[in-house]
Amino acid sequence: MKGTPPARDPSIRPVPRPDRLSSYFRREYRSLIVVTMTGLLYNVGMLAGPYFEGQLVQCLYDIMGGRQTYPAMLKLAGSYLLVILAVQLLRSIKRFYVRRFANNSSRSMRHMLYNHLVNLKQSDARKQNTGDILTKAVADVDVCTEGMRKFTTELFDTGVVLIAYLALLFSYDWRLTLLASGFIPLAYVTAARLRRQVTRANQTYKQSAGQLNSATLDRTGNALTYRVYGCEAARNQAYETFLSDYEQKARLTNVWENTPQPLYHIISMAGVIWVLYLGSRNVTGQGWGSWNLAAFTTYLAAFAKMALKSSSAAKLFNSVQKARVSWGRIKPLMQPWIPPQKVSHLTSDSATKPQTGQLILTVRELNTGWPGQEPLLRGLSFSARQGEIIGITGPVACGKSLLGLTLLGEIPYQGSICLNGQELGKLSQAKRNQMLSYLGHDPELLQASLAENIRLGRPGDIAPCLRAVSMDAEVSRMARQADTVLGSGGCTLSGGQQARLALARTLYQARPLLILDDPFSAVDPQTEAALFRQLRKFAANGHLVILLSHRLRHFPQLDHILFLQQGHASFASHAALLQSCPAYARLYHEQVRAAADPTETGAPADEGRAE
């Protein structure tokens, strides 16, 4: 059950200004330098195609007239082949580094987006639309980086080559070039006029995709509730409405993106009429210049290639507009880098090795509530120290989970929360991580092996933690034991196993202060008793345990209890609360009677999950 930490990927580096696209270009400057050098050489080398085509036609004409021989044609064809091979090699290098630039930019954007989302406070996370975030993460980064890639590619494949072709054409006949190329700007003007329609279509498409993702997550996540209450038909109909809207918006977006392309080609190629007419006059000596067959062929081929490239530039406008829409959606999420917190790793041996120093938690006149609401808890005061287990309980929606998140520093508060005399709100995230561990309602298990779900990439022996949560025997019976891969969210385990595995992870990663929110909610009484004995040993060996629970079976064995009721709290021992707090006494005695007689209707509900 030993392991090694994963290797750090050196290619993942924070972006200085993640909300600026220029930051991603500067970050990949080495690749862009190679792209620039090879792009210039490749696109200037593209002129070799029309030139050699003209020379080959002229050579063939001369052979037919007896002025040249076939070896001259073979020599010319061989030179053409070598030049084309060199040009295509430069093209391959350029495209490789353009793709590398796009891939690295995509990785950087995804990493910055991921870093922002995983560091959201609970109060901010509640405001996020899950379906919209999913759309941003999956689609918008790809669309944005694809626009960056096309822009970088077309800068050379269109911009540089257009200049090169124009220079070649001007060298043959500047009057004809001005006349024939006059249609090309019309393609750009047309693309610019269609820009608003393309942008609007993409915006509505993205909004519809976000709504469809939200509806999908809602339909699958709440399927059982809808089935039980007979709402399936209505929800299915609502989902079909979202799906139909998405399909309509997708078709409209596809039309605006792809239909104009043939129009751009037709407009750009319209000038070929002048090339055929006036160019032929140049060949016959009646035009503005005097051409041979090679010059006419070279000019015609170069103009056709230039016209097609110019229509690609018009297409680029649409791609850039599409990328701008995606960038506008993800830009608010591209926040400054929050570095991973470096915390001293405490292995599972922490359960048997006393911690040095004395942790003291002091809470004075604490007021806190869910963001945007009035304070739910007011004037709370209590203190606890290392080696103790403090129970926090109360009726439904009394604020147990709220208090747990506040002690973690996830919820803003008024008053004072001090850890060893240091105010919690003034501690850095790294410092809090060194002092606090947390287990919430949801086990939040990974689709990885059982061992990795406990280690989270840190080395060490997980066996003591498995024994502490009474899972060692069950794991030994699994096909691959601790290397058994769990399904999504740990679906291959029972609810009780998931809860115990999450507790094992918390013990393995334990800091001096442990905040456990209903760790016994999914286990049977015998397992609960075994887990509590381990927690008592764990606390005695150098930890302060804050136990938020609605199950009071073991509260008589706790050091102190904080009973929450109507926003206020009573803090005392179990025996003292039985005498001084009727609400606590009534709740405790009801649970004792329910445990003695399981058929009694006064058995408590799962209050912890009601919060």
What band does 361 get if pLDDT is binned at 50, 70 and 90? very high
Domain match, 368 and 284 both = no
User: Is residue 292, in this structure, part of any structural domain at all?
Assistant: yes
Residue type (1 letter), 119: N
> Which of 333, 358, 385 is where one domain is finished?
333
- 501 alpha carbon, distance to own chain's centre: 26
Whether 151 and 65 map to the same domain: the answer is: yes
The string of pLDDT tens digits covering residues 470-490 is 888 888 888 888 888 887 767
Is 391:544 a contact under the CB 8 Å cutoff?
no
Q: Buried b vs exposed e over 122-157: b needs ≥16 C-beta within 10 Å?
A: beeeeeeeebbbbbbbebbbbbbbbbbbbebbbbbb
* 262 and 395 inside one domain: no
Q: Are strands 360-368 and 413-419 parallel, antiparallel or unpaired?
A: antiparallel
Whether residue 374 sits in one domain with residue 310? no
In which band, very low, low, confident or very high, does the pLDDT at 79 lie, cut at 50, 70 and 90? very high
Q: Residue 2: what pLDDT?
A: 39
Indicate whether 474 belongs to any domain. no
Q: What is the CATH number of the domain that holds 273?
A: 1.20.1560.10
- 141 and 169 share one domain: yes
Residue closest to 32 by CA, chosen among 86, 88, 89, 100:
100
Alpha helices in 119-160 (DSSP H): 122-125, 130-135, 141-154
Provide mean pLDDT across the span 188-196.
75
Q: Is residue 8 part of a domain?
A: no
pLDDT in tens, 390-415: 999 988 888 888 898 889 888 889 99
pLDDT at residue number 1? 40
Residues 315 and 365 in one domain: no
The pLDDT assigned to 15 comes to 81
d(CA 366, CA 381): 7
Same domain for 439 and 325: no
Q: Is residue 499 part of a domain?
A: no
Domain residues for 409?
A: 348-444+510-610
pLDDT in tens, 409-456: 888 899 999 988 889 888 887 788 788 888 887 777 777 788 888 887
- Asked if residue 481 is part of any domain, the answer here is no
pLDDT single digits (tens) 218-264? 777 677 677 766 777 888 888 889 899 999 988 888 888 777 777 87
| In a shared domain, residues 520 and 598 | yes
How does pLDDT run across 580-604, given as a tens digit for each residue? 999 999 988 988 887 776 555 444 4
pLDDT tier at 132 (50, 70, 90 boundaries)?
low
Same domain, 316 and 356: no
pLDDT of residue 19: 85
Number of domains in the chain: 2
Q: 322 with 260, same domain?
A: yes
**For 115-131, how does the pLDDT look when each residue is reduced to its tens digit (9 = 90+)?**
776 666 655 555 555 44
In a domain, 1, yes or no: no
The verdict on 290 and 430 lying in the same domain is: no
pLDDT, tens digit (0-9, with 9 covering 90-100), for 325-357: 788 877 877 877 766 554 444 344 443 343 445
Q: Does residue 342 lie within any of the structural domains?
A: no
Domain of residue 531, CATH code: 3.40.50.300
The pLDDT tens digits of the residues spanning 281-330 come to 898 888 888 899 899 999 999 898 888 777 666 566 667 777 887 888 77
Handedness of CA 62, 67, 72, 74 (dihedral sign): positive
On whether residue 7 sits in a domain, the answer given is: no
Within this chain, do residues 121 and 208 fall inside the same structural domain, yes or no? yes
Which of 274, 305, 333 is at the close of a domain?
333
Give the Cα separation of 350 and 545 in Å (integer).
14
Q: Is the pLDDT of residue 358 over 90?
A: no
Q: Given 276, 310, 333, which residue is the final one in a domain?
A: 333
Residue % of the chain over a pLDDT of 70? 86
Answer yes or no: pTM beyond 0.75.
Answer: no
Of 348 and 562, the structure prediction assigns the larger pLDDT to 562
- DSSP β-ladder status, 389-393 and 544-548: parallel
Mean pLDDT of the chain: 81
